[in-house]
């Protein structure tokens, strides 16, 4: 039986982390002593890679068919959810933050899910 040839997948996470790290390091280079720059660069690269930091540009969003964000970074749907939470908040009885957050999530789900079924 012939196995399909496996094509190695490119590690986009590492490539993006390296791009961000290089850009940030260029800006910070003048503020970091020369003898510490290499250590700072690798610490920053590790943090960016491990946390999976990525930037999704407006062009990336448009290409993926996602709604545009406003000048503060919010989509219209996100703003509707936030407004629903804010409108419901004054009606919440005094309770712990976790329960308040759960109710806020349920309110947001009601806005998103027009049928009103919250699971």
pLDDT tens figures, 63-80: 999 898 888 888 888 888
Q: Which two tokens stand for residue 58?
A: 């407006």
3 class by beta-carbon count within 10 Å (0-12 exposed, 13-18 middle, 19+ buried) = exposed
Total length of the chain? 119
pLDDT at residue 33, rounded to an integer: 93
Sites in the chain below the pLDDT cut of 50: 96-98, 112-119
């Amino acid at each position: 039986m012939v196995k399909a040839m496996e094509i190695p997948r490119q590690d986009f996470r590492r490539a993006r982390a390296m791009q961000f790290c290089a850009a940030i390091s260029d800006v910070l280079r003048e503020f970091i002593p020369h003898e510490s720059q290499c250590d700072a660069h690798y610490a920053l690269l590790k943090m960016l890679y491990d946390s999976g930091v990525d930037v999704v540009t407006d062009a990336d969003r448009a290409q993926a068919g996602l709604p545009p964000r406003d000048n503060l970074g919010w989509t219209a749907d996100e703003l509707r959810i936030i407004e629903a939470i804010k409108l419901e908040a004054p009606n919440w009885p005094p309770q712990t933050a976790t329960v308040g957050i759960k109710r806020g999530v349920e309110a947001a789900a009601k806005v998103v899910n027009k049928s009103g079924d919250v699971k």
